[in-house]
């Protein structure tokens, strides 16, 4: 039964909103790459829903999805400008996906940290079209309605996203193989085994440290097998001896949370292809780590 055929009240509004809240957050997070910004957008959508004449809304889910998507696009456009002045490499906020492996979507697409980072190179509308299609399986006609464009253009937008990712990433490995290679990498990084690191890193591997200006985080990406492996060996004796680790899941893949003195200092995540490790991602910004760690404790 549609909302327009029922007496309207706030309880019904809350029920309709909560029914699609996971999807709303999933869309906003994938478009923005920020847990905090996604939560803000979802909250803003709730406020707008309360202030809407809901008796005229026939499909609450469609209405709420349209609102959250357009708000996310608007914020993403301004976020692109802000990230140009970000200190050091920018990585998406990690999210715990143990309870919701697909993060409110039909499929767990556009969720891995590496994919979200690559999608950042698309403009917000292209990114949104790709997310709605690949993660949420929206028909092209519906995507066109949300983005206020033609169905033909919606198809082109999604195609650009697919081509971009295909150009940047080769075939991925299984989750089991990913975990196994992360274990090998972690051991070699901790002990400074140069030959092992050189064996598991791809030739054009890149190491990103997102510290947002935090002391100890590299302000530029380290590129190439030789540079990355020597970089890891050099800081091994200074970094690892005083740390503890916890195996976690972040964005659908195994990851390692690193602690110093009981405080989280980094989340280590890898992007792995059949050729080896393509990307090493160190999320060290306390503003990004804190919400993630808090979500683990819930």
Q: What is the pLDDT of residues 63-107, one digit of tens each?
A: 999 999 999 999 999 877 777 778 889 999 999 999 999 999 999
Using CB atoms within 10 Å of the CB of residue 5, give its burial: 0 to 12 exposed, 13 to 18 middle, 19+ buried.
exposed
Q: What is the pLDDT of residues 149-162, one digit of tens each?
A: 999 999 999 999 99
Range list of H helices, 84-139: 113-119, 124-134
Q: What angle, 0 to 180 degrees and rounded to 10, lies between the N-to-C axes of helices 225-239 and 175-191? A: 60
Chain segment 197-249, per-residue pLDDT in tens: 999 999 999 999 999 887 778 889 999 999 999 999 999 999 999 999 999 99
pLDDT > 90 in the chain, percent: 88
pTM tops 0.85 = yes
Tokens at 85, concatenated: 């002045």
Residue 27 has pLDDT above 90, yes or no: yes
| Alpha-helical runs (H) found in the chain | 10-32, 35-50, 60-83, 113-119, 124-134, 140-147, 151-168, 175-191, 194-200, 225-239, 286-297
Give the pLDDT band of residue 256 (cuts 50, 70, 90): very high
Angle at 90 between CA 105 and CA 126, to 5 degrees: 45
Tell me the pLDDT tens digit for each residue of 99-129.
999 999 999 999 999 999 999 999 999 999 9
Alpha-carbon distances of 285 from 150, 179, 189, rounded to whole Å: 40, 24, 21
Cβ pair 94, 296 in contact under 8 A: no
Tell me the C-alpha distance between 128 and 154, whole Å.
10
pLDDT at residue 7 greater than cutoff 60: no
């Amino acid at each position: 039964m549609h909302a327009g055929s029922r007496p309207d009240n706030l309880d019904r509004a809350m029920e309709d909103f909560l029914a699609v809240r996971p999807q709303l957050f999933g869309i906003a997070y994938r478009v923005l790459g920020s847990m905090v910004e996604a939560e803000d957008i979802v909250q803003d959508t709730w406020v707008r829903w309360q202030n809407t004449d809901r008796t005229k809304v026939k499909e609450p889910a469609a209405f709420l999805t349209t609102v959250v998507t357009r708000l996310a696009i608007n914020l993403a456009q301004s976020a692109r400008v802000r990230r140009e002045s970000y200190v050091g490499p920018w990585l998406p906020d990690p999210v715990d996906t143990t309870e919701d492996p697909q993060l409110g979507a039909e499929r767990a697409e556009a969720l891995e940290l590496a994919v979200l980072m690559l999608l950042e190179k698309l403009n917000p509308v292209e990114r949104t079209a790709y997310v709605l299609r690949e993660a949420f399986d929206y028909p092209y006609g519906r995507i066109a309605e949300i983005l206020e464009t033609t169905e033909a253009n919606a198809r082109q937008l999604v195609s650009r996203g697919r081509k971009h990712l295909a150009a940047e990433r080769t075939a991925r490995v299984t989750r089991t193989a990913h975990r196994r290679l992360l274990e090998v990498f972690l051991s070699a990084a901790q002990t400074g085994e140069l030959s092992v690191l050189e064996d598991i890193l791809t030739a054009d591997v890149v190491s990103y440290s997102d510290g947002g200006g935090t002391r100890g985080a590299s302000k530029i990406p380290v590129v190439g097998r030789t540079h990355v492996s020597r970089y890891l060996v050099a800081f091994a004796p200074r970094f690892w001896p005083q740390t503890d680790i916890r195996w976690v899941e972040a964005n659908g893949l195994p990851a390692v949370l690193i602690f110093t003195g009981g405080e989280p200092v980094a989340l280590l995540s890898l992007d792995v292809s059949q050729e080896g490790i393509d990307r090493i991602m160190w999320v060290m910004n306390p503003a990004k780590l804190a919400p993630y760690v808090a979500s683990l404790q819930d």
